[in-house]
């Protein structure tokens, strides 16, 4: 016991009025089967550390966010990301990353650089939760001075092998970054509001914190169905709030609430800037994406993508 820690306040707004939407014990047969299947290529799931705990989904009425009540403690977090998840997976995945991935990352970095209005060589970037460093290396390729911060030792070793400087979490405050990237990171952390406040403290004057997190409009319907066999990415998949990993599911109003509580100002990349820097006009779906996404983001307030500056 003790591997899993309860969160008694809403991790987005620190409210205490969340209600439970769903619960299943970690040793229930369908949950055990899900974990075995999801982590099949890793070093094996240690069911004993989850004994007596349950996967419990909460919804906060104050900020509309959904979150898992129990989250892995520090020790289990390290074991999860370096052992349960296949240590060799990144190499297989990296080999399979399509050109469109790098094209999208480059387009986004060019948009953000354009908004900052400085030559790339004068832009200090932090990739927070840099994973296998694809985004960080793309930013460096476009001329930025890039530093990374990451929890997992195997991923940090990858950063060092590629000559990327690494910064400790505590040292971020006051470091004066022009741009801090968090790409699919804040759904994994136990305390997203605390981290957003900390990262805002690491920005230079005029700097921006980018937050991009998964969105899922119909997760409550998916929970009613509770199909633990639905594959990741499929219509009924529960992956948007995947046990142990996706601890938080944001709604647009959740991000807006967090920005307000952190005293931050929300910024948008103007549609023209997004269009000018779009890349890889290859095929109908890519053309449609390049043309529609800027409007979808800026006017429909969708896609859970936001830029924050200190207020």
Measured CA to CA, the distance from residue 298 to residue 252 in angstroms comes to 12
Nearer to Zn ion, 5 or 62 (CB): 62
* Nearer of residues 9 and 92 to Zn ion, judged by Cβ: 9
Distance in Å, CB of 114 to Zn ion, minimum: 34
User: Residue 13 Cβ, how far from Zn ion at the closest point, in Å?
Assistant: 3
Q: Which is nearer to Zn ion, 188 or 297 (CB)?
A: 188
Residue 66 CB, nearest approach to Zn ion (Å): 10
User: Of 15 and 73, which has the nearer Cβ to Zn ion?
Assistant: 15
Residue whose C-alpha is closest to residue 26's, from 245, 221, 222, 243: 243
Shortest Cβ distance from residue 64 to Zn ion (Å)? Answer: 8
Give residue 101's Cα distance to chain centre: 16
**Backbone phi, psi, residue 178, to 5°:** -80, -30
User: How many CB atoms within 10 Å of residue 262?
Assistant: 20
Among 218, 220, 212, residue whose Cα is nearest residue 303: 212
Report the residue number, 15 or 143, with the smaller CB distance to Zn ion: 15
User: Distance between CA atoms of 116 and 206, rounded to whole angstroms?
Assistant: 8
Which residue's CB is nearer to Zn ion, number 10 or number 307? 10
Distances (CA, A) of 29 to 7, 47, 225, 228, 229: 25, 12, 16, 10, 12
C-alpha to C-alpha distances, 238 to 38, 46, 91, 197, nearest whole angstrom: 12, 21, 26, 29
Closest approach of Cβ 238 to Zn ion, in Å? 21
Q: Which residues bind Zn ion (CB under 5 A)?
A: 10, 12-13, 15, 60, 62-63
The nearest distance, CB 240 to Zn ion, in angstroms, is 17
H helices of the chain, in order, are 29-38, 74-79, 89-96, 99-116, 134-141, 153-161, 192-200, 219-225, 252-261, 271-276, 284-298
Structure tokens at 32: 């055990």
Q: Which residues contact 92 (CB under 8 A, 6 or more apart)?
A: none
CB of 244 to Zn ion, least distance (A): 21
Closer to Zn ion by Cβ: residue 15 or 120: 15
């Amino acid at each position: 016991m003790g591997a899993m820690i309860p969160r008694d306040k809403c991790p987005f707004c620190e409210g205490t009025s969340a209600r439970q939407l769903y619960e299943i014990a970690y040793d229930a047969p369908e949950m055990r089967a899900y974990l075995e299947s999801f982590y099949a290529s890793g070093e094996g799931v240690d069911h004993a550390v989850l004994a007596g705990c349950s996967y419990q989904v909460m919804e906060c009425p104050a900020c509309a966010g959904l979150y898992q009540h129990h989250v892995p403690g520090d020790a289990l977090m390290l074991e999860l990301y370096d052992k349960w998840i296949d240590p060799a997976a990144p190499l297989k995945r990296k080999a399979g990353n399509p050109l469109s991935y790098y094209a999208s990352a480059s387009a986004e970095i060019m948009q953000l650089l354009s908004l900052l209005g400085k030559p790339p060589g004068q832009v200090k970037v932090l990739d927070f939760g840099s994973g296998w460093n694809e985004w960080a290396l793309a930013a460096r390729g476009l001329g930025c001075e890039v530093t990374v911060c990451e929890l997992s030792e195997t991923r940090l070793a990858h950063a060092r092998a590629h000559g990327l400087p690494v910064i400790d979490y505590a040292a971020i405050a006051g470091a004066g970054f022009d741009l801090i990237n968090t790409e699919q990171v804040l759904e994994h952390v136990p305390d997203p509001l605390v981290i957003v406040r900390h990262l805002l403290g690491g920005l230079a004057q005029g700097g921006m914190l980018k937050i991009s997190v998964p969105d899922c409009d119909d997760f409550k319907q998916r929970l009613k169905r509770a199909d633990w066999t639905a594959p990741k990415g499929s219509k009924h998949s529960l992956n948007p709030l995947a046990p142990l990993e996706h601890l938080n599911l944001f709604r647009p109003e959740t991000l807006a609430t967090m920005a307000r509580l952190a005293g931050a100002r929300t910024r948008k990349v103007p549609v023209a800037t997004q269009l000018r820097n779009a890349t890889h006009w290859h095929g109908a779906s890519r053309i449609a994406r390049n043309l529609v996404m800027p409007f979808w983001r800026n006017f429909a307030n969708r896609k859970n993508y936001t830029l924050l500056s200190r207020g």
